[in-house]
Chain A
Amino acid sequence: GAVVSQHPSRVICKSGTSVKIECRSLDFQATTMFWYRQFPKKSLMLMATSNEGSKATYEQGVEKDKFLINHASLTLSTLTVTSAHPEDSSFYICSARRQANTEAFFGQGTRLTVV
């Protein structure tokens, strides 16, 4: 299957700082990338959908000013958690797909801990 690389895999940051998470499709061009959040022992919650060159579409209840998403190229999307707080601590996962209705391939996930 296709490879999606997410970096970093783990990050610990202080309250009030910002953290950037990168998602790269290594061997294909991703027209769409998705960002999910997963709480312990829970399912994946879609945060936003990003298409290259356009603004991300955020799900209801997700603060777009807090979770900044940039999809600068067909192989890279970034999620920046701004002014992080302990309640932002979670597992964040990105996925990418070539085109609509095809399988999405997921990154390794990033475990964010805000202290």
Chain B
Amino acid sequence: AQKVTQAQTEISVVEKEDVTLDCVYETRDTTYYLFWYKQPPSGELVFLIRRNSFDEQNEISGRYSWNFQKSTSSFNFTITASQVVDSAVYFCALTGRGTDKLIFGTGTRLQVFP
């Protein structure tokens, strides 16, 4: 069975703080794909990153960075120098090779205060 756990329900930070959103996954597939999506108050989900199970290199994109650790089955997301516009719900998701389903975690609501 596949499962994604985002233990942090809500996080509040003050602007310019760094924040890390945790994601732990479970899967029996040897080939799988991990995603992060952002859902701002408008509701639309915005794709942030896709990572396959064979690529453990960390990724940095501007203020965003991702740490993929197969040994701990984690795919954590860090926002550096957070901004008010980063306030949103962030979802981690997982799919396995040969399956159509994208399994979502329960999401982490991030609030960045000025």
Residues of A within 8 A of B (CB): 1, 32, 34, 41-44, 46, 49, 57, 91, 93, 95, 100-109, 111
Contact = CB atoms under 8 A, between A and B. Distances in A.
Interface of B: 33, 35, 37, 42-47, 50, 52, 91, 95, 97-98, 100-102, 104-107, 109
A104 B101 CA distance: 10
A103 B35 CA distance: 8
Most buried by A among B42, B47, B50: B47
B31 to A, nearest CB: 8
A100 B98 contact: yes
Nearest to A106: B45
B22 to A, nearest CB: 15
Contact of B47 (A32, A42, A104): A104
Given A49-B100, A100-B98, A100-B100, A109 B44 contact: yes
A68 B74 CA distance: 37
B98 A111 contact: no
